[in-house]
Amino acid sequence: MSDFKKNYGLDFVKKDYRNFVEQMKILRYILPLFACLLLWQCKPEPVPDPKPEVPDPAISIIGSSDINFSEDAGSGSVNFISTREWTVTTGESWIAVSPAEGEGSGNIVTLAVSCSENPDETPRSGEVVIASGDISRIITVSQSARKPSGHKSQECELTSLNFLPKDNSALTQNISVTPKRIQGIWMLLVTFPEDADISRMVPSFEMSPKASVIFNDQEIEGGKTVVDFSENGPLTVVAEDGVHSATYLVIARRGDIEIDRKVYSFMGAYNIPAVSIATTKGEKLAYCAAYGLAEVDDERPVYCTTEHLFRLASVSKSLTAICILRLCQEGKLSLEDKVFAPGGPLASLYPGSHIAPVDEIKVVDLLTHRSGWTYSSAGTDPVFTGNLRFAGKSLQERVAYMVKYIAPATPGTVYEYYNLGFCILGQVIEQVTGKSYEEYLREVVAMAGANDIWLSKTPLSQKRDNECVFYSQDSAYPYDNNMEVAAACGGVTASAIDMAKVLTAIDYGGTVPDILNNRWLDEMYTRRTSGNYGLGWWIGNYYLSNCAAYHTGSLAGTATLWARGSNGIHGVILCNSRSGSNNFDSSMALVLDKARSRVQQTY
């Protein structure tokens, strides 16, 4: 003991004892809590009741006991539980239920409830009774009223006009046409096979539900009614309400479906109301067709035909070149003639002194856009301008101003496409022949059998009976251009067929006599400038395959292209509107290329 006391002391023992007593007091509170937690963790999970408790005997409806339907036929359901055998009944003929009876198993039963369409303009309701012995439950069924006629559907949209082989024995493939809105009119442009009897076709429609169709005053039932599509006319879709309607102009024809689909797509994409194309093969007319409206009019539309005339715009330059070279071939003119110099073809028309070096301008310089005059030198295009120096003036007054005041660059050295140069060539033709430009032009193209080529008049009121109306897509008005001034550079009108005939007479062929002999054809088709320009023609392919030479034309309301094929397949496309889209010119060329390639393959 003495050692213990010596080493640890009595005070330590007393202190340790007191700590022990305090710890035991704490455990007195912790142990009961631990025991409760252990018991809670060991409590068994409750088992859920699979269905609601239902007194026996009883019927219990789970959820709402009301079913609401719209005016149309419909179906719904109600869930219930019955502990005894049960039946379901209704006194309403427009309500049907299933199942009508069952065992009282106490399981959940799904009762299907359906109704027919409400034909009346008043709502209706009825009861479905679920009964088991003396106990019953009521389900209330309500249905909305049929809307009055003023609230019937106003929809009258036509998605597509279809012709199916199952309805039309003449067809081997589906023909489906979607409406195209062109110059404010919805058009349905459709082509049938060449051998189809389009006076007996059965159409079908994709359109607004419950709408009806009338075509040329005949009511049509899709897939059943035989319709005569040999006469174009309005197709009207009438809404269910009988008040609202939409009208689509059907323009149908027989032809090459592949070519025509390409044309229709182009017309719809670029808002072109009328297109005419003509192709040749072996110096004979091949596929020629006209599409759309030569004159857009809601009441009296004028359907485009292959006889309609179109303004050629700058394609006129090629015709002027042909006339000039014909005079050269006859020895009446030389490409080296100085146009304004003393002794030149226009010396008497523009007497006196001229600003240098105007007198050095040759016929060939005008044919190749190398007169030396540029749009920057005159500050404007003297032909198509509102500039006060030229607007309202005659061609002679405009040229007189140029030769006196506007100095060109050295003639023959600078290429810039220049309209006035070809207008001056028109004056050269008149001075050499003693005839009007139009008169001599008509004599020359008549050698190819083209007899309906004329000069366009400026005002709409003076257009020829078979001339198209032209539609601008910007602020430029087609009938503001002075066509008398522009005659030899852009004022000629012609049909696509007559232009195709001319192509057969300038192609080195042996079937149709050429207007120019080979020497002068060579002169015309030889590339002479950095712009790939020959004499009144661009030389090369453009967007066309197998193309030897071509020219395009563009004026407000006019777009044109003609091309001489290196493979003997020539083509012309004329439009009575033009788009400002960057892709327009290439798309127009591809339409003509499609026609030429099809002709090469199939005609």
Same domain, residue pair 327 and 374: yes
Q: How far is CA 511 from CA 125, 447, 502, in A?
A: 87, 13, 13
Same domain, residue pair 481 and 506: yes
Same domain, residue pair 198 and 315: no
Expressed as residue numbers, the domain containing 196 is 151-255
List phi, psi (to 5°) of 426. Answer: -60, -40
Same domain, residue pair 238 and 343: no
The tokens describing 72, both together, are: 């149309």
**Residue 317: its pLDDT value, please?**
98
CATH number of the domain to which 453 belongs: 3.40.710.10
Same domain, residue pair 490 and 506: yes
Same domain, residue pair 506 and 399: yes
Token pair 């007497």 in the structure block, residue: 351
Residue 182: count other Cβ atoms within 10 Å of its Cβ.
24
**Residue 388: its pLDDT value, please?**
87
**Residue 57: its pLDDT value, please?**
63
Same domain, residue pair 208 and 330: no
Residues 255-308: tens digit of each pLDDT: 999 999 999 999 999 999 999 999 999 999 999 999 999 999 988 999 999 999
The single-letter DSSP state of residue 150 is G
Token pair 């149309």 in the structure block, residue: 72
Cα torsion 113, 116, 117, 119: sign? negative
Tell which of 111, 143, 175 closes a domain. 143
CATH number of the domain to which 128 belongs: 2.60.40.10
**Residue 452: its pLDDT value, please?**
98
Written as one letter, the residue type at 221 is E
Written as one letter, the residue type at 292 is G
**Residue 58: its pLDDT value, please?**
81
Cα 258 from Cα 263, distance rounded (Å): 9
**Residue 318: its pLDDT value, please?**
98
Looking at the domain assignment, is residue 290 inside a domain?
A: no
Three-state SS letters, 171-192? CCCCEEECCEEECCEEEEEEEE
**Residue 71: its pLDDT value, please?**
85
List phi, psi (to 5°) of 17. Answer: -65, -45
List phi, psi (to 5°) of 346. Answer: -115, 15
Same domain, residue pair 139 and 200: no
Same domain, residue pair 86 and 158: no
Q: How many CA atoms lie within 13 A of 397 on its CB side?
A: 8
Same domain, residue pair 398 and 508: yes
Q: Which portions of the chain are predicted below pLDDT 50?
A: 1-18, 20-21, 24, 26-27, 31, 34-54
Same domain, residue pair 82 and 175: no
**Residue 6: its pLDDT value, please?**
37
**Residue 45: its pLDDT value, please?**
47
